Amino acid sequence: MDSFGALRISASALWAQRQRMNVIASNMANVNSTRSEQGGPYRKKEVIFSSFPLNNISPNIEGVKVIDIVESDEPFKIVYDPSHPDAKENGYVEMPNINIIEEMVNMMMSYRAYEASISTFNITKTMFMKTLELGR
């Protein structure tokens, strides 16, 4: 196994979870956005992860990467608010398909995965340092 494989795996996981947290933050920031560039309300975005080989030396060592950021196909929420500027003639407004509680849970899960990757990185670094101390 490549000596730095654990560090590369941890670093790739950190990068992937950081991207996931950015997407979740964007979803939360747009929870009330009824207008988007595509027309209509903001559509929730989701991150798709995949594994990938880190190098040709050890092809069985895999890291994590974001392969795509997709829009959710869940239906929009329909809210009765005749005073809203985007309300239809019947007083209903299409709102983004974002559940703020679900996004908070996703953010906490992503944060925990980020923390775990940091711990793995730091433990690996400590092991390398202890190995160097043995050589003294």
pTM over 0.75: yes
d(CA 103, CA 28): 7
Is residue 16 within 8 A of residue 109, CB to CB? The reply is no
Residue 1 predicted with pLDDT over 70: no
More confident residue, 51 or 79: 79
Q: Is 62 strand, coil or helix?
A: strand
Q: Give yes or no for residue 10 having a pLDDT over 80.
A: yes
Per the CB < 8 A criterion, the answer to whether 33 and 84 are in contact is no
* CA torsion, ordered 121, 127, 131, 136, to nearest 10 deg: 90
Could you report the per-residue pLDDT of 87-97, keeping only the tens digit for each? 999 999 999 99
pLDDT of residue 58: 64
Write down the mean pLDDT value for the chain.
Answer: 90
